[in-house]
Amino acid sequence: MILKDKKILITGILTDKSIAFATAKIAIENGATVVATGFGKGLRITERAVKRLSEDIKVFEMDIENLNQVNEAVKNIEDEVGNLDGILHAIAFSPTDAMGGNFLNTTVEDAVKSFEISAFSLKTLATSFQPILNKPSSIVALDFDNSQAWPGYDWQGVAKSSLQSIVRYLGYYMGDSGVRVNAVAAGPLATTAAKNIPGFSEMDNEWNERAPLGWDTKNAEPVAKVVNFLLSDLSEAVTGEIIHADGGAHSIGGSMLPN
């Protein structure tokens, strides 16, 4: 029960395939009280998905691009559960023209939109919720390691590189307040966001072959467990860190593997 008595905000639950859904499930199993946010047309879907975890989880509307809504969510969550001990940032979006091999022709507007929603949003979330974060507390983001170029991932990959950097700067600037900021770099998982990335599903077999521990794209729980570790006091000395939960694939080169 590593999250006993902890109150955790989980953003980004869309369906029961979402990494955020698996994170909430493991957090509840570990004793946490969970609140969730959803946004826009997806809000109803989030509410339905969350019911599969527990009838007691409150869902608040929060479009990370709408600062009034973010502030309203902070106020409502404070009223409903009080201060928080942890937050999962599981938010990403790229316009179609920013992915799928269109890299050289993507407009600055589409690239910036990817950055705003997928990377800068971590700063928005962290600073908006800081007034209701306990000391110590933990913020965790979800990365897809972009230290090499992934054909088709394109400007979402650039946004992920920014996200990694933002994790380190937030870790620096929020350390005094007792807030740790880290990310988990997950292997590919079959979620709604992933389905929208051209070519992503073709990575399934390759990843499983490369990862020393193997990889199941249909099981987000191994990633969720690492997120839960980072949300818990077990990670009290960890901040500004990116932990790979990818079966070890990031540590292995591909080109010399036997066919």
Ligand X SMILES: NC(=O)c1ccc[n+]([C@@H]2O[C@H](COP(=O)([O-])OP(=O)(O)OC[C@H]3O[C@@H](n4cnc5c(N)ncnc54)[C@H](O)[C@@H]3O)[C@@H](O)[C@H]2O)c1
Figure out which of the listed residues 24, 53, 142, 174 binds ligand X, where binding follows CB under 6 A.
142
Mask for 174-213, x = binds ligand X (CB under 6 A): ------------x-xx-xxxx-------------------
Toward ligand X, which CB reaches closer, 177 or 219?
219
Kindly state whether residue 30 participates in binding ligand X, applying the rule CB under 6 A: no
Kindly state whether residue 139 participates in binding ligand X, applying the rule CB under 6 A: no
Long-range contact pairs involving 105-110 (C-beta distance under 8 Å, separation at least 24):
106/154, 106/155, 110/155
* CA 15/CA 35 separation, integer angstroms: 16
DSSP one-letter code for 47: H
Figure out which of the listed residues 61, 65, 97, 209 binds ligand X, where binding follows CB under 6 A.
65
Toward ligand X, which CB reaches closer, 133 or 140?
140
Sheet holding 179-186, edge to edge: 59-61, 33-38, 7-10, 84-89, 133-143, 179-186, 242-245
Toward ligand X, which CB reaches closer, 21 or 103?
21
Residue written as token pair 């400007």: 155
Provide the sign of the torsion angle of the four alpha carbons 233, 27, 241, 12, taken in this order: negative
Toward ligand X, which CB reaches closer, 39 or 103?
39
Q: Give the interface with ligand X as residue ranges (CB under 6 A).
A: 12, 14-15, 18-20, 39, 42, 63-65, 90-93, 117, 142-144, 186, 188-189, 191-194
